[in-house]
Chains A and B, each alone.
Chain A
Amino acid sequence: MNIQAKLKVDPRDGKLAMAHFYVFIVALAIGGLAGLLQTFVRSGKFELPFGIGYYQLLTLHGVVLALVMTTFFIMGFLHAVVSKTAGTYTNRQRTLAWISFALLTIGTIMAAIMILLNEASVLYTFYAPLQAHAVFYIGLTLVVVGSWVGSAAVFMKYGEWRKANPGQSSPLLTFMAVITLMMWDIATIGVATTVLFQILPWSLGLVETINVGLSRTLFWYFGHPLVYFWLLPAYMVWYAIIPKIIGGKIFSDSLARLSFVLLLFFSIPVGLHHQLVEPGIDPAWKFIQVILTFLVVIPSLMTAFSLFATFESYGRSKGAKGLFGWFKKLPWGDARFTIPFIGMLGFIPGGAGGIVNASHQMNQLVHNTIWITGHFHMTVAFAVILTFYGVAYWLIPHLTGRILTKKMNKLAMIQGITWTIGMLFMSSSMHIQGLLGGPRRSAFSEYGGAAQAAEWIPYQIAQAVGGSILFISIILMVYVFINLAFFAPKGEQEFPVGEVAKGAEKTPLVFDNWKLWLGISAILIVFAYTLPLIDLIQNAPPGSKGFKLW
C-alpha cells in the first residue's frame, strides 16, 4: 500500500464510486417527486395527470428509493471506504465492481420501464398472487445479483489485505463493510429463492400456481435484514467517521466490531415479526423471532453509548465543565457533523417505535397502518438518509478533487434542517393517523363517508405539508450535489477516518474469524426458520393463480 493510497481514494476507484452516486442523486430526485405527488393525492385536493395511477407512482417511489437509491449509495460508499482503508482496488477487483454497477443499472432500468408501462404496479414488496410482468422480476434479480458481484470485490480486497498483513486486525471500516455485505448476501438468498424458483416460473406461465405463504416468508427473511443493510453503513459513519470529523477518537475499536458481529447475528432470523398477524404460521415461532428481534437492540444500545462517549470525551478534552458542558463544544456549524447527528437523534424514537412494532400482540394495533410508514420514514428516510447526506457533503468533493466551501456548508446545513422539519411533520402525522386506524399504501378515500375516515384527512394534509418541505430539501440537495461534483473550487477535501485513542487496548484477532461468525449466524437462521418453512410447504393450501388488478 503506497502513501498516496493512504491519503486519497485512487481516482480510478473514485470514478467507480461517483458512478454510483450519480444514480443515487437521480433516484433521489425521481423518488422524491413521486413521494411529493403521493402526499398531494392523499390530501384529497389534487388528482394525478396523464392517467398516472396512484399505485403505479407508489411502486415507483418504493422501488426507486428503498431498493435503488439506497443500494447505489451504499455500494458506492463501501467501495470508496474499502479502497481508502484497505488499499486501492486491483484491476480485477475494479472490473468486478464495474460489472456490479452495470448489472445494478440494467436491472434498475428494466424494472423502471415495466413500472412506467404500468405492467408492474405491485409495490416494492411485490406480494404474490398479484402478478407483474416477468421483466420486472428479472430486473430486480439483476439488482440483487449485481450487489453480490460488488460484494465479491470487497471480499477479495479484504482477503488480500489479510494476506499482506498477517497477525494484524483488519482496518475497522473495511471490517464493517465486510459484515454489512455478508449480512446482505445471506439475506438476499431468501428473495432470490422466491423470485427464481417461485415467482419467475409462475409469471412466465411455466407453472400455474404459487405458494403464497412460502413466498411471503422468503420475502420477509430478506425484508428485515434489508433495513439493516440501510442502517449498518450509517453506523459505520457514526462509529468510525464522525469521531474524526469532530476531532475526537473512536471510543473502542473492539466494541464497535462486537456490535457489528451482533448485528450480523440478529438482523436475519427475525423476519416473522413482519408477519405477526398472518395465518399459517405458529404463534410460538413468531414469539421466538420476536425474542431474536429484541436482541438486536443490544448492539444499538452499545452504539448509542459509544457515540455519546466519543462526544463527551472530545468536549472534555476541549476543557468543557459540568455534566453537559461538553455538548456546547461540538462543532455545530459543520454540516458533516450536525446533519448526521440529527439523524442519530432521530434513531432514538425510530428504534423505540420499532420495539413497539415487534411486540407480538401490540403489533395488532399498528400493523399495516400508516404508523408503519411513519416508522420507516423516521428510521431510513430520516436517521439513515441524513447520515448519507452528511457523507455526500465531504465524499463527493473528495472523489472529484474539490472542496466543500463555507458557503456550500451553510447551504448543506439549510438542506439538512429543511429535511428535518419536513420529515418531523410528515412522520409524526403518519404515526398519529396510524394509531387512529388509517391504513398505509392507500390513495385518498372517504370510505363511504365514514366518520372515522373523516378524522384521518387533516393528518393527510399535514403529510402533504411535510412532503412539500421535504421536496424543497431534495432540490437543495441536488443543487449541493451538482456543485460539489462539477463546480466547487479544486482542492483536497479530507476523507475522515477515525482513529482509536493512543494506548488503547489491541483489538483481539477473533473478530476476523469468519468461520465462527458465519457459523453462529447460520445456526440461528436454521433454528428460527426450518420448522416454519417446513410447515408452510407441507401444510400448504391449493396454490394461487396470478392476478393483475391494476
Chain B
Amino acid sequence: MPELLQFLLSGITVGAVYALVALGFTIIYNASDVVNFAQGEFVMLGGMITFFAHAAGLPLPLAALIAIIVTAGIGVALNKLAIEPARGAPVVSLIIITIGASIFIRGATQLVFDKQIHRFPAFSGDQPILIGGATILPQSLWVIAGALAVFVCLWLFFTRTLIGRAVLATANNRVAAQLVGINTNYVMTLSFAMSAAIGALAGVLVTPITLTSYDVGLALALKGFAAAMLGGMGNPKGALVGGLLLGILEAMTAGYISSQYKDAAAFVVILAVLFAMPQGLFGRKSTDRV
C-alpha cells in the first residue's frame, strides 16, 4: 500500500509539471487557435535564467522574478517578430513558426549561457516529508501548489474577467472582436506574455527537482501538449486534469510494469481517450453553424 501511495505522489508531482506546461498552452491556443510549441522553451528559460541570475549573486526569489519577467518579454518578442508579421497565414503555418522559434531559442540559449546541466537550491530544503509510509520532497509541494494556483487564476481570468472573454472572443472571430472595440494585437501580446510567464514559473519550480539545461524544453512541450490534448485543448480544467492524469499514468506504469514502458502506456491511454472523445475530456464542442 505505501508503494501505491509513493507512485501516486511522484505521479502527481510530475503531473503538476505537465499541467503547468499544458496551462501555458491554453492561453495562446484560446487567443489564436495556435499550439505554441515553443512553450517548453519558456519552461527551460525560466530555469536557466534563474540559475544564472542566482549564480551571479542575486537572491533566489529575485532571480526567479527576473527569469519570469525576461521570459514574458521573450514571449512578447516571439509574437511581435514571428507571429504578428505572419498574421493571416493558416494556423498550421503559425504552428510551424513556433517550432522554428523553439529551435532558435534552444540554439540561442546554448550560445548565451552554456550546455551544462544546472540546478539551484530547493525553496524549502531537501528533507523529504513522510506521508503514510511514502515520501515527498518539499519542492514537489511547491510544484503542486504552483499548478493549482495558476489553474485557479486562469480559470477566474477566462470566466470572470472581461479581458479574459475578450481573449476567447478574439480566437472565435477576430473581425467581430475588432468590431466591438477589442484591440486584437494587444490581446495576442498579452496572451504570449502570460503563457511565457506561466512557462517560466514552471521552470523555476521544477528545476530543483528535475535540473535544467538548454534542451529540456522539447520533451516538456510534448508531454504538456499530450496533457492538454487529453484534457481538452483550451480549457484550464482540462489542462490541469490532463496533466495530473498523464503524470499518474506514467508513474504507475513505471512502478508496476517497467519504466521503459511509461511513455508508451501513457500515449496508448491518450489515444484510447481521444478515439472515444476527440475533443478531450473537457473540450468544448464546436457549435458553429454552417
A and B: real partners? Answer: no
A interface vs B, CB < 8 Å? none
List residues of B whose CB falls within 8 A of some A CB.
Answer: none
